[in-house]
Amino acid sequence: MKKIIQVQNVSQRFSTASGEFLALSNVSFNIAQGETISLIGHSGCGKSTLLNLIAGITLPSEGGLLCDNREIAGPGPERAVVFQNHSLLPWMTCFENVALAVDQVFRRTMNRAERREWIIHNLERVQMGHAIDKRPGEISGGMKQRVGIARALAMKPKVLLMDEPFGALDALTRAHLQDAVMHIQQELRTTIVLITHDVDEAVLLSDRVLMMTNGPAATVGETLHVDLPRPRNRIELAEDSRYHLLRQQVLRFLYEKQPKAA
């Protein structure tokens, strides 16, 4: 399988008022094209630091990262990010928010009509076709996240990076969006890197769960291979002993091997 992301011996230091802080130490892993990977670990272990490195928002202190065999030297549309707080511009409609990204990436390769069609197609893909002229203030939190996902997908990224995209949503809305992401993944075979605190979410959505040790000097402690067949159905999995076993392995890692004081 083709490696789309390579993280090679990456360490990340930050200068702080009390001296240098080693957040990540010697992290290495590859992600295959089309894979869904979750990063899970206790708060403050370094998940966002790692995602920011893949996004190219920050550069590593040591080691290197590659996307499609090219060094990651900054942000790029081939690595689109979906944030927890949607980050839509409140004065623009859903259409205009997606257009901002589409115009930036495809201004030269698509004409105006094609771009318009592509924007609407992506909003429809996340069931937001009904709200193209609404502003973020007029739609729910779950809907805003859907528009954020549409905006990211509209860039035709090689990798979709999601930093706790459902963290601020209620359980039902969260479940709907998880299903939407699984559906999109099946349809487009997009590579996804997802940060989550939610063990069920990690197992349900992922092909592999990378479990991070507590910081400082955090790294990937263990990797769980989730070999549950797809498409996955949350109701059927609730009665599947393999699912519970996988879940248990993540819980063991988090609460027995890497416990953290509350």
Contacts with ligand ATP by CB under 6 A lie at: 14, 16, 21, 23, 41, 43-49, 215
What would the two tokens of residue 162 be?
A: 């999601």
- Comparison of 122 and 196: residue with beta carbon closer to ligand ATP: 196
**To the nearest 5 percent, what fractions of the chain are helix, strand and coil?**
40, 25, 35
**CB-facing half-sphere around the CA of 177: CA atoms within 13 A:** 27
- Comparison of 13 and 176: residue with beta carbon closer to ligand ATP: 13
- Comparison of 34 and 44: residue with beta carbon closer to ligand ATP: 44
What is the nearest approach in angstroms of ligand ATP to the Cβ of residue 254?
Answer: 12
What is the nearest approach in angstroms of ligand ATP to the Cβ of residue 161?
Answer: 13
In the chain, the largest separation of any two C-alpha atoms, in whole Å, equals: 56
What is the nearest approach in angstroms of ligand ATP to the Cβ of residue 236?
Answer: 30
- Residues 146, 67: Cα–Cα separation, whole Å: 25
What is the nearest approach in angstroms of ligand ATP to the Cβ of residue 154?
Answer: 26
- Comparison of 58 and 173: residue with beta carbon closer to ligand ATP: 58
Strands ordered across the beta sheet of 70-71? 19-32, 3-16, 62-67, 70-71
- Comparison of 27 and 153: residue with beta carbon closer to ligand ATP: 27
What is the nearest approach in angstroms of ligand ATP to the Cβ of residue 27?
Answer: 12
Nearest to 154 by CA among 108, 98, 210, 199: 98
For tokens 């790294």, the residue is 219
